Amino acid sequence: MNGTRQFHLLAGRGSDPSARSDEAIYQALWEAIVEHRLVPGARLPEDALASAFGVSRTTIRRVLQRLALEQLVTLKSHRGARIASPGPGEARDVFNARVILEDALLGEVMKRINGSDLEDLEQIAREEQSAERERAIRLSARFHSRLMAIAGNESLSDTLSQLLSRSSLIIAIYGRGQTGCTCEHPELVALLRAGDSDAARHWMRHHLHDIEAGLDFDADGDALPDFENLFGHHRGRSVS
């Protein structure tokens, strides 16, 4: 058992293990990260990934470097790659960035939004409500992404996509069970439909602050598991 086993299911179901392009490997790892199947801090040994995906370390390293530049993975010299584990400071930075950026983009969105956009958004928001946690997180991100794409700026849409991925990591670390948001997106759609720009932007700022407020930054990411809580009831007993 060389550690490959644990990455097998990321490598795609059944299809030819070789001939997978960079993009496919990137996609597989990205999904595993934002879906919390790879938790923050998890090691990503190059050999294991290489054999799991049926490529050489050369290819794996390239993908890992890309993920590192997007801050979903941290690379330490001679110490390998791990799923990134942003601290409270970085987490706050990400949400602060989202407040600033999404507020600004929403201003543009309100100038351009049309019926087809509203339909798509309503659709996503609906699905979101009847989805379990992991799926809801992804749909929530898709909602924000689809909404801000209406602004029509690719550069900033890309930036937001990265912030959304990092948000998913942050929720994995500091989230307290809920999806991060209480899924109030349909409320926003109503405001968008009414064309009330100020109300929509005000709502969005509060929405993001709510998500951040729902995080527990005391539950330190790199901290040890809470042994007291996990094993406290063993106190005074023999370990069996």
Q: Which residues bind its own copies (CB under 8 A)?
A: 62, 65-66, 69, 93-94, 96-97, 100-101, 103-105, 107-108, 151, 153-156, 159, 163
CB of 16 vs DNA, minimal distance in Å: 12
CB of 60 vs DNA, minimal distance in Å: 8
97 binds, among its own copies, DNA, none (CB under 5 to 8 A by kind): its own copies
**Nearest-10 crossing angle of helices 133-149, 88-112:** 50
CB of 91 vs its own copies, minimal distance in Å: 11
Whole-number Å distance between alpha carbons of 75 and 83: 9
Which is closer to its own copies, CB of 15 or CB of 96?
96
122 binds, among DNA, its own copies, none (CB under 5 to 8 A by kind): none
Q: Which 3-state string (H, E, C) describes 38-71?
A: CCCCCEECHHHHHHHHCCCHHHHHHHHHHHHHCC
Whole-number Å distance between alpha carbons of 132 and 238: 39
Whole-number Å distance between alpha carbons of 182 and 199: 19
Strand partners, 73: 83
| Residue of 108, 159, 168, 96 whose CA lies nearest to 136 | 168
| Residue of 107, 153, 147 whose CA lies nearest to 124 | 147
Which is closer to DNA, CB of 83 or CB of 188?
83
66 binds, among DNA, its own copies, none (CB under 5 to 8 A by kind): its own copies
List the interface residues with DNA, window 209-228 (CB under 7 A): none
Site string for DNA, 41-80 (x = CB under 7 A): --xxxxx-------xxxxx-x-------------xxxxxx
Q: List residues binding DNA (CB under 7 A).
A: 2-3, 18, 21-22, 43-47, 55-59, 61, 75-81
